[in-house]
Amino acid sequence: MTGLMSLTLASSLLAETAYDFFICANVNRNYVIGSTIVTTNGLFQRDPASAEWRHFGYNDTTLSAVAFDPRDHDVIYTTSLNGIWVSYDGGDSWKMTNSWDMTEGRDVAVDPHAPDTVYLALPDGIAVSPDRGQTWARRENGLPDRGKFTQTLAVDRSTGGRVLAGCEKGVFLTENAGGVWRQVLPTETQVNDIEQSPHDDQRWVAVTDTHGAWHSTDGGATWSQLAGLPDEEAIYNVTFDPTNPARLAIASWVYGVWTSEDGGETWIERNAGLPADPRAWRVGIDPNSGRLYASIFQETLYYSDDFGRSWAPDALEGSLVNAFHSIPRLQH
Amino acid sequence: MVLSLALPLGAQPAFEQPFSREPVESLDQRRADYLDRNKQKQDWRLGLYAENDFATMDNSAIAMLLTRGEEIEACNRRVIELMEKPGTGPFWMFPVTMVAYAGRDKLSVEARQAVRDAWRTTRQLRGDTENHWVMYHTAMYLMAQMYPDEPGTEWWNGLSSEENFVEGRDWLLDWMNLTTTIGQGEYNATHYIGEYAIPLLMLKVWAADPAMRQRASIVLDWLFAELATVTLDGVLRGPNSRTDDTSVTERWNALATYFSWQLFGNVPAGERFHGWGWGNYFAVLAEHYQVPEVIYRIATDRKQDILQHDRARSRRIWRYSDEHMRPIYKTQYLRDNYAVGSHQGGISDPIQSHVWDVTWSVDDPRGVHNTMFSLHPHSSGRVQQMFFCTFPEPMPPGVTYEGKPSYNSANKLLGCSPYEQVMQDLDTVIALYDINPADDFPQVNGFFSKDLTDVEEHASGWIFARGGTTYLAYRPLAAFTWEPHIRYPNSRDPNITEETGGRVLVSPHVKNGTILQAADGSEFSSMAAFQAAILALPLSYALEPVPTVHFTSLRGKELSMTYGETPRVEGTPIDYEGWQLFSGPHLNSELHSRVLTITHGQLGRVLDYNTLSITDVVLP
C-alpha cells in the first residue's frame, strides 16, 4: 500500500470529503544547493482527520507543481529544479524522465480527456508526453522563439487537447494537444498563473508580473483586464474558491493577499493578521472546506476560515508553498 | 575551534617562504616544485586533524589520505559517517565521486557500500548554473561508469546506469562543444574556475573512455591557457563573468590564485591557504597534471605586451532578452607592471560580473587592493528573472544572504548593468552610462583603493594617482562626492561591514561616464610629467542627449564613443562581429573552429577538439 493511499484510507473523514488536497512545499529557509537537507520538503497531503500536513515521496526542496492521473492517483507528476519526476506507485519510487536539455520544470498538467497526455512547462518552452510521462518531446509550434518562458499550464477540462500556457509574452492556446499554439492574450511581462473556474468552464483568470490580472469568459479566446486589481507589481497566483463561485483570491509579494467576493468585479486587501510586509507567495483554497491558505515567503503557512478577514498560523514554519493542488477523491 | 587549536600559525611553509616570479628553467626542478607545492597544500589540509583525529575530516581530506594510502581505517569510519547524512547537489556529488574513485580499491566493503547507498537513496539537484551542471554531470558520468549495468532502482533518479552515463556524457559533450566553439559562459571566473578545473581533471584521470579523457585534457589546457594569458603575476583581473565582493578589489584573494600558485608558482599563498578550500580537491589529483611548457611560459612572462581580443558568451538567458546568450567581447591588454581589461558592458551574469578594470602589479599582492574601475551599481529583480526561474522581488534581497552581500546596496562594486557601455583601446578605457532615472541606484561608483598613492583631484577634472609604479588618470564626467569603501567580512550577512581605508567616488547622475588612462612608471620622469601629458590630450564630451566622448589617448588613438552606438577607433567602428574566439600573441582560435593555438616564442601547442589531438610544435 502506498503512502498516499494509506494516508487517504487512514482518514476517518474519508466519506465526508470529496477532494484530496496537496501542496508542494520548501520548508528549508535559506537552503543553498549542496548543503544537507535538515527538514522535510516536497509533497504534503492534508489529512482531514488530524488536520496535519503529511509528507510523502522524496525529500526535495525544489518541487514547483504536482499533477495526478485522474484514473489512478498513484500516478504522480512533479516538476522540480531537475525537470520532471514521475511516480507510478503513489510516491514510493520516482523517475526523472526529462532529458538533459530540459531543466527547471515550472508546471505540469494532465489532460483529463486523454490522461496519457501530460504537459510540461519549461523556462524555454513546452514539452508534451504521450505516454504518461515516460518520454517527452518539445511542442512549441506557434510559440515565439524568444518569449516562451512558460510558468504555468492549464488544461481545459471541458475539451480534450485544449491547453492554455502562461508565457513571457502572453497566454497561448492550443486546441490540438500542443500541435500548434496561438497567442490569445499578449502581455508585456510574464504570465505567472492561469486558472479555470471550477464553476464555469468558460471562465478563466490569468495574472502577470507587471501586466495586471485578466479574465476570459469565452474559454480563453478573448481577455479583458480585471480593473479592481493593481497592475504595477507582480501577482504570483490566483485561485478560485471551489465552494463559492463568487470568491477568488490572489497572492502578491508587494500587495499581499487580495480577495474578491463578487466574481472578480471588486477586490479588497486582506493582509490584516498576516506578517507585516506580507510577501505572499501563493494562495490556495481547500475545496473541502473553503479554507483559504496563504504561503508567506519563508514564514509559517497561514489560513483563514473567513476568506481573509482574519488569519491564523498553520504548520510548516519557514516554508514556501509553490503549489496547492486538489483532486476529486476516487471512490474505491 | 578544532582548526585553530590544531594549527599553530607558521606551520604553513607556502605562506612564509619567499617566492620568486622568475621562471624555473629546469623542467625537472619545475616538476619538483609543482609537486612540492601540492604536498604543502595536502600536508596543510591533513595537518588540520591533529593527533590522528580524523573524525571531522571532509571529503577532500579523505580523498587525499586514500590517494596516499594512509589512515584507511579512519577513512572508512568517516566515509560511513558522512554518508549517513548526504548532501544534495553538485557541490556534494563531485567530492563524493572523488572519494569513491580514490577509495575504490582501498575503502572497506562497508564504506564503499555506504557511498553506493547514498547514490541510491538521496535525491540530488542538478542546479541551475553552468558550473553546477559541469560538476553534476561529471559526477553522474563517473559514478555510472563505476557501477555499470544497474537498473534504475539502484539510482536516486530512477535512471539506469546506462541512462545516467549517457545523459552525463551527452551534456558534457555539448558543453565542451559550446565552449570550444563560441566560448565559456562563466569565463574568467575568479572562484568558479575550480568548479570547472576539478571535474575536468577527474574526467582526465578517471574516465574509462579514452576520447573523454582526451576531451577533458584539451578543455583543461584550454582553461589554463586562458588563465595564464590573462593573469598579471598570477593574479586574475577583470573582466570576469563572476567574481565576488572581496576578489573584485583584493584581486589576489581568489581561488584562481590557487591555480596560479599551484600551476605556475608565480604568486604567494595566503595565510592558512585562506579562500582556497576547493583547491583541496584539485590537489588530490594534481600529480596527474602539469601545464605544458608553453602555458607555463605565457603565465610567467610579461616582458612583451599582450593584447588579446577574445570572445566568450553570457550565461544563458531564459527571458526578457532577444538573445539566448549574449556574445561577450573581451579586450585584454597586459604589460609588465599593469593590465587593463574589459568587455563591452551590458548584462553578462545576473549578480557577480565585473566589467572592466586596471590592475597593477605589486611585490606582494596579499591584502592589497591593486585595482581601479567604475560601475553602475545595478540591482534588479528583472535581471534575476532573465537568468533564474524566479519572481521579481525575492532575489535582490535574498542573494545578499547567499554569498553576494553587496548585491542590493548602492555602494556595491560588483556587478554589471544594462546601462553601462565600455570601449577599450590598449590602456585606455571609456565607460559611458545612461541610467534609467527610476533605477534603484541611479549613480556611478568609482573604486579608489587604499593602496593608491599620489592621489590628486586636479582642477581640470582629472583625478591622478599611482598604483604601484603605474600612473593612473581617471576622469569622471559628472560631479561626485566621496564615500568610504566598505568590505563585507561575512559573505552571508550584508549587515556586517568594515571600512577599508579606500574610497568610492559616487557620482549621482544618470548621464555619466568615466575615462581611464594608464601608463607605465617608466614612461614618465614624474607624476607632473604624466599629468602634463594627460592634460595635453584632446578631450571633448557631452552628457546630453546621451553621453558621448571624443578622446585622443596617450597612445595617439582617436577614440569616439556615443552611448548606444558602436565605439570608433580612428573613426572606424570596432568590428565586434569579426572578432575571433581568441586573437592575440598567445591565443588564437577562429570562431567555431574548435581549434586553439597556444604560442609563446618558438613554443606552440595546438588543441584540436575536432580531431581530439594535442600537438606540440616548434615555431620558426
Chain A residues within 8 A of B319 when measuring between CB atoms: 123, 146-147, 149, 168, 190
Return the C-alpha cell found at B129.
548554473
Tell me what pLDDT residue A6 has: 40
Rounded to whole angstroms, the Cα distance separating A136 from A123 reads: 15
Return the C-alpha cell found at A19.
477532494
Interface test with A, best of B88, B154, B162, B173 (most A CBs within 10 A): B88
pLDDT band at B11 (very low <50, low <70, confident <90, very high): low
Identify the closest residue of chain B to A152 by CA–CA distance: B389
CB contact under 8 A, A103 and B318: no
pLDDT band at A281 (very low <50, low <70, confident <90, very high): very high
Position B381 pLDDT exceeds 90: yes
Across B16-29, average pLDDT: 91
Tell me what pLDDT residue A245 has: 97
pTM here is 0.95
pLDDT, one tens digit per residue, over B392-415 is 999 999 899 888 999 999 999 999
Q: Which of helix, strand or coil describes residue A291?
A: coil
B87 in reach of chain A (CB within 8 A) = yes
Across B150-179, average pLDDT: 98
Tell me what pLDDT residue B51 has: 63
| Window B:359-398, CB contacts with A under 8 Å | 385, 389, 391-394
Rounded to whole angstroms, the Cα distance separating A154 from A323 reads: 13
Average confidence score pLDDT of chain B: 95
Q: Which of helix, strand or coil describes residue B3?
A: helix
Chain A residues within 8 A of B132 when measuring between CB atoms: 33
Position B3 pLDDT exceeds 60: no
Instruction: Give the minimum alpha-carbon distance from B149 to chain A in angstroms, rounded to a whole number.
Output: 17
A124 in reach of chain B (CB within 8 A) = yes
B579 in reach of chain A (CB within 8 A) = no
Q: A293 phi and psi, to 5 degrees?
A: -110, 145
Position A331 pLDDT exceeds 80: no
Across A117-141, average pLDDT: 98
pLDDT band at A31 (very low <50, low <70, confident <90, very high): low
Position B457 pLDDT exceeds 50: yes
Rounded to whole angstroms, the Cα distance separating A180 from A163 reads: 11
Q: What burial class does residue B271 get, using C-beta atoms within 10 Å of its C-beta: 0-12 exposed, 13-18 middle, 19+ buried?
A: middle
Rounded to whole angstroms, the Cα distance separating A130 from A118 reads: 7
Q: B176 phi and psi, to 5 degrees?
A: -65, -40
Position A15 pLDDT exceeds 90: no
Give, in order, the Cα–Cα distances in Å from B314 to each of B127, B187, B347, B353: 18, 8, 8, 10
Q: Determine the distance from the C-alpha atom of residue A66 to the mean position of all C-alpha atoms in its chain, rounded to a whole number.
A: 7
Position B505 pLDDT exceeds 70: yes
Q: Determine the distance from the C-alpha atom of residue B315 to the mean position of all C-alpha atoms in its chain, rounded to a whole number.
A: 14
Return the C-alpha cell found at B525.
620622469
B438 in reach of chain A (CB within 8 A) = no
Give me the residue from A36, A81, A146 closest to B126, CB to CB. A81
Chain A residues within 8 A of B325 when measuring between CB atoms: none
Across A9-29, average pLDDT: 72
pLDDT band at B48 (very low <50, low <70, confident <90, very high): confident
Strand partners, B473: B464, B517
B493 in reach of chain A (CB within 8 A) = no
ipTM of the modeled complex: 0.94
| Window B:166-205, CB contacts with A under 8 Å | 167, 170-171, 174
Position B228 pLDDT exceeds 60: yes
Residue with the larger pLDDT of the pair B402 and B33: B33
| Window A:217-246, CB contacts with B under 8 Å | 233-234, 236
Position A17 pLDDT exceeds 90: no
pLDDT band at A332 (very low <50, low <70, confident <90, very high): low
Position A38 pLDDT exceeds 90: no
pLDDT band at B1 (very low <50, low <70, confident <90, very high): very low
Chain B residues within 8 A of A299 when measuring between CB atoms: none
Tell me what pLDDT residue B55 has: 85
* Among candidate residues B190, B187, B182, B191, the one with its CA nearest the CA of residue B241: B187
Instruction: Give the minimum alpha-carbon distance from B430 to chain A in angstroms, rounded to a whole number.
Output: 32
Looking from the CA of A157 toward its CB, the CA atoms found within 13 Å total 12
Instruction: Give the minimum alpha-carbon distance from A49 to chain B in angstroms, rounded to a whole number.
Output: 30
pLDDT band at A34 (very low <50, low <70, confident <90, very high): low
pLDDT, one tens digit per residue, over A140-185 is 999 999 999 999 999 999 999 999 999 999 999 999 999 999 999 9
Give me the residue from A34, A147, A168 closest to B88, CB to CB. A34
Chain A residues within 8 A of B385 when measuring between CB atoms: 190, 209
pLDDT band at A7 (very low <50, low <70, confident <90, very high): very low
Tell me what pLDDT residue B251 has: 98
Return the C-alpha cell found at B542.
557631452
